[in-house]
Structure 1
Amino acid sequence: MKKSVLTRYRVMAYVTGVLLILLCLGMIAKYLLKMDGADDFTRVVSIAHGWLYVIYLVFAFDLGAKAKWPVKKQLWVLLAGTIPTAAFFVERRITPELQARFAQDAPAVAKA
């Protein structure tokens, strides 16, 4: 497994996480605070999150398949993009695990 697979996942986890937080703030502004312009903001952010979440799903599934995760863990990572702030916590939890695996898989450098 390459580090680029983890990097792609991490980028999309942060992007979808930020968009989901912005969407929640937009919904609060729209429905609770009844702010003007919140409707347009939430429409744009929700469309962006929807499309980018699909990319997040592809990258997360690819990561899980290459890491050979059990189904339960894979679902946990896939669903993290739908719960505000969950993508951040899940990403922070799996990154050290996978980085340790990269360190074990790296070949030893020959000393001169």
Structure 2
Amino acid sequence: MLRTFRYTAILEGISYLALFAISMPLKYLAELGEPNKYIGYAHGFLFIVYIVLAVLLTKKYQWGLKRFGVLFLASLLPFATFYIDKKYLRD
């Protein structure tokens, strides 16, 4: 389950960056809303999976509320899921 969470964290970070670096400029500068819709759906799905897995892993490994808070905060900040993977999730 930890490996799945690591992959989800990386994919969630990539989708977050794609949403704001690619699809938002396309939506507002080129008036192409379609990519934003699909990248937004993918990011939303990955965000939910990330949070659910973070809750499950926190319970399984008894990480505590502080570590869960760090994982949750990382889901809200650009590039933070990459840091979390390197700092907290690698063996």
- Listed as ranges, the gaps of 5+ residues in structure 2 are none
| 1:28 match | 25
Equivalent pairs, count:
90
Contact 1:17 / 1:86 at 8 angstroms: preserved in 2?
yes
Aligned to 1:65: 59
Distance 1:12 1:82 in 2: 14
Per the normalisation by structure 1, the TM-score is 0.72
- Quick check: 1:61–1:78 contact (8 Å CA) kept in 2? no
Distance 1:40 1:29 in 2: 9
Task: Name stretches of at least 5 consecutive residues in structure 1 with no aligned partner.
Answer: 100-112
CA RMSD, 1 decimal: 1.5
Identify the range of structure 1 (9-18 vs 61-70) with the bigger mean alpha-carbon deviation: 61-70
Superposed CA offset, 1:68-88 (max 9, x none): 112122021023222211111
Larger radius of gyration: 1
Residue from 8, 21, 40 that aligns with 2:4: 8
Name the CA distance, whole Å, in 2 between partners of 1:74 and 1:87: 13
